[in-house]
Amino acid sequence: MNSVNISFPRAKTLLSFPLLREGVTRLNVQLTALVRAVITVTIASILGACASAPDWAFDVRDVPPLKLDGRIYSYDPNNPDLHDPQILMVTQEMRDFVELYTEGANNSHNKLMALHRAIKGQGVLGMQYDPFADGTARDAFERGTANCLSYAHMFTALAREAGLNAQYQWMEVRPEWHRMGDRVAVRLHVNVQVKMRDTTEYMVDIDPLSRSEVAGARLMSDEEGFALYYNNLAMNALAVDRPVQAWQQLVRGLEEAPGLSQLWVNLGAIYRYAGQYAEAEQAYFHALEVDNSDRSAMNNLVVLYELQGRNNEQSYWEDRLERYRNLNPYYHASLGDLAMEEEDWDAAYAHYKRATRMQPDDGLLIYSQGLAAHELGNDDEAERLIARAIERAAFQVEKQRYRVQLRMIKEQQAAAL
């Protein structure tokens, strides 16, 4: 397995396109919405790390109309803004590109490498990162710029044209907890998995995440990838104060993949913006039916009930949020990080220990506990923990970093004798 900066539920190899990573955007807690780039940015949200989105019975006619400024807006599938953009369509120019740069490849591995070089190379396509570069596979190819989602569209389309088995992949980024512990921004990321006939899996990414950033991954259906396209259009519309257009695009996305809870949360945010509190509540509960651990939906219910003065319901969901937070290993890891910054080694050790009990196969959590043990002077335990972290590490780059630390601890012990 190649050495890279990320971990997965199972062995993979990474093709990294080192351009630029999408940044975390923190929004007001009262509105869950993606402004740019990844998928959605949620406040106080935790997703199932590797769970598949469930099937969801959905009829667009059941979506309540939007009522705004004295007008009623119903979903219109004939709206020209909602026409099929053919997200994965491959033009003749794109076919010629694939044929030209993969023609001499004699197997799928060589095809993938050749395609990778042609897209990445400055003298060929020279793809560049642009957080505003939404769009289809064709848009990204013709512009030569892409964000993570449009890049995933483009690479999936080109790889399939080359006869490769390419699929969208959903990457969950670890929560980033605020210091008070009551809010969290979650960044979600899309890339592409290419699977070889020998079952080797490659991950193709416009900018690979580091190991410490990843909480999980799962494959996505094409319909989910398309739904995220419409979700981004919706959030872009909302960013320029076009809630009607945003609502239309979100409903269109739900037609593609009603099993994505984030779209229901964003739909609820628009209803709340319009003052349609009952419809907002219904959308949030739809999100929770899809994913009962969607903390963004819970948090938005808290906000909604606070606006309505429904104190009992507000307290109930605040308690649920607290319980889910305390059940999340990365929340406790974040407390450990904070304690390490403050040189409170006892607290750091306790927090990391709790996190590793919840997530016993996470090498980084074990390693962090080992560092805290070292700071406490418990070098025998630190060595044991870091050795276990090396065993759990998914990639060689992690193993090497942990080995360096382990060697330093041993050398310090020897020098003290």
What CATH number does residue 36 fall under? 3.10.620
Predicted pLDDT at 34: 33
| Domain boundary residue, one of 204, 230, 261 | 261
Q: Are residues 214 and 354 in the same domain?
A: no
Q: Are residues 95 and 204 in the same domain?
A: yes
Task: Let me know whether 24 and 149 are in one domain.
Answer: yes
Taking the C-alpha atoms of residue 344 and residue 337, their distance in angstroms, rounded to an integer, is: 10
List all residues 6 or more positions away from 39 whose beta carbon is below 8 Å from its beta carbon. 149, 170, 188, 189, 190, 228, 231, 232, 262
The boundaries of the domain holding residue 359 are 329-416
- Asked if 186 and 27 touch (Cβ cutoff 8 Å), the reply is no
pLDDT tens readout for residues 295-337: 889 999 999 999 999 999 999 999 998 998 899 898 899 899 9
Position 374 in a domain: yes
* Claim to verify: residue 90 and residue 233 sit in the same structural domain: yes
| Residue 45 region by backbone torsions, left for phi larger than 0, else alpha for psi between -120 and 50, else beta | beta
Categorise residue 343: left if φ over 0, alpha if ψ from -120 to 50, beta otherwise: left
Helix orientation angle between 363-375 and 379-392, rounded to the nearest 10 degrees? 170
Boundary of a domain, candidates 261, 293, 321: 261
Q: Beta 201-205 vs 145-146: how paired, if at all?
A: unpaired
30 and 124 in a common domain:
yes
Query: Does a structural domain hold residue 317?
Result: no
**pLDDT attached to residue 141:** 96
DSSP assigned state of 388:
H
Evaluate whether residue 316 is within a structural domain.
no
- Residue located via tokens 């739909």: 267
Label residue 207 exposed, middle or buried (CB < 10 Å: 0-12, 13-18, 19+). middle
Q: Quick one: 119 and 224 in the same domain? A: yes
Nearest to 217 by CA among 195, 191, 254, 256: 191
Domain boundary among 228, 261, 294: 261
For residue 395, give the amino acid letter: F
Nearest to 121 by CA among 101, 147, 99: 101
Q: What is the number of structural domains in the chain?
A: 2
Nearest alpha carbon to residue 164 among 103, 127, 109, 117: 109
Token pair, residue 69, equals: 């400024």
Q: Answer whether 256's CB lies under 8 Å from 84's CB.
A: no
pLDDT value of position 188:
73
Q: Per-residue confidence of the chain (417 residues) as pLDDT tens digits?
A: 332 222 222 233 333 322 222 332 222 222 222 322 332 322 222 222 233 344 445 677 789 999 999 999 998 878 877 788 999 999 999 999 999 999 988 899 999 999 999 998 766 788 888 888 999 999 999 999 999 999 999 999 999 999 999 999 998 877 665 443 444 445 678 999 999 988 888 999 887 777 667 777 899 999 999 999 999 999 889 889 999 999 999 999 999 999 999 999 999 999 999 999 999 999 999 999 999 988 889 999 999 999 999 999 999 999 998 998 899 898 899 899 999 999 999 999 999 999 999 999 889 999 999 999 999 999 999 999 999 999 988 667 788 999 999 999 999 988 887
- Is 296 part of any domain? no
Answer yes or no: is 128 within a domain. yes
pLDDT of residue 402: 94
286, part of any domain: no
Q: Measure the CA–CA gap between 152 and 167, rounded to whole angstroms.
A: 9
